[in-house]
Amino acid sequence: MRWLALAHIELFRGTPLLVQIYLIYYGLGQIAALRESFLWPVLREPWWCAIAALALNTSAYTAEIIRGTGQAVPPEEVEAARACGMSGLVLRRRIIWPIAIRHGLPIYGSEVILMVKATALASIITLTEVTGIAHKLIASTYRVIEIFVVSGAIYLALTFLLGLAVSTLERRLNTHHAPRRP
């Protein structure tokens, strides 16, 4: 189990997302057994292939974030919780996870933003997302600059809203770091 997780993290962090998308969309179709299996109706759709590639990719990064935040929980606060009779799920739910989430949220926020921008790559497997549509519009109108500026603005708006949501949540969770108002 441990080796499987490590292999997953190394493989998906160590190769370009573009290659992963290609391999999942074009590569899986080469396996005859898969083409005849019940999974094929799903896996031949570019939409599901893009989802799978993005999910596998982000899960590798998120796993590392979770590992890091677990290590950032101060051991003495956990010990104090044990000394108060906490163990198992109560200890995790009440002490470890709330502290870990506070540590991990800023890093996870930037991972989410990276993921939103990575969806642009899905256009190469014929998916009509923002960048895909931009390409089509350019092909029919030849207005390169205007269309790319607008599609850039769409990504900017999306990531701005996400960033705002994350920082609002962070502020709410981290009231204990804020200076106290008199």
Partner 1 sequence: MTYIPEKIMPPALSGVATPNLTAIATSGLCKNHGTLTVLNDIDFCAAEGEVVSILGASGSGKSTLLGCLNLLEMPSAGRLHILREEVALRAANGTLRITNQAQVDRLRTQASMVFQNFCLWSHMTVLENLMEAPLHVQRRNRAEVRDEAEAVLNRVGLSDRASFYPSQLSGGQQQRAAIARALVMKPRILLFDEPTSALDPELVGEVLSVMRALAAEGRTMLIVPHEMAFARDVSNRILFLDRGVVAAQGSPKELFSGGASERFDQFISRFTQG
In terms of CB distance, is 9 or 78 closer to partner 1? 78
What residues from 58 to 117 belong to the interface with partner 1 (CB under 8 A)? 74, 76-77, 79-88, 90, 94-95, 98-99, 102
Structure tokens given for 114: 């990276």
Q: Give the x/- contact pattern for partner 1 in 116-155, rule: CB under 8 A.
A: ----------------------------------------
Question: Does 36 sit near partner 1 (CB under 8 A)?
Answer: no
Q: Is 172 in the site for partner 1 (CB under 8 A)?
A: no
Residue 20 in contact with residue 50, Cβ under 8 Å? no
Q: And the tokens for 42?
A: 């799903």
182 lies in the site for partner 1, by CB under 8 A: no
Closest CA to 105 of 60, 165, 157: 165
How far is the C-alpha of 182 from the C-alpha of 161, rounded, in Å?
32
**How many whole angstroms from its chain centre is CA 70?**
18
Residue 87 CB, nearest approach to partner 1 (Å): 5
Distance of CA 103 to the CA centre of its chain: 17
The residues of the shown chain that bind partner 1, judged by CB under 8 A, are 74, 76-77, 79-88, 90, 94-95, 98-99, 102, 173, 175-177, 180
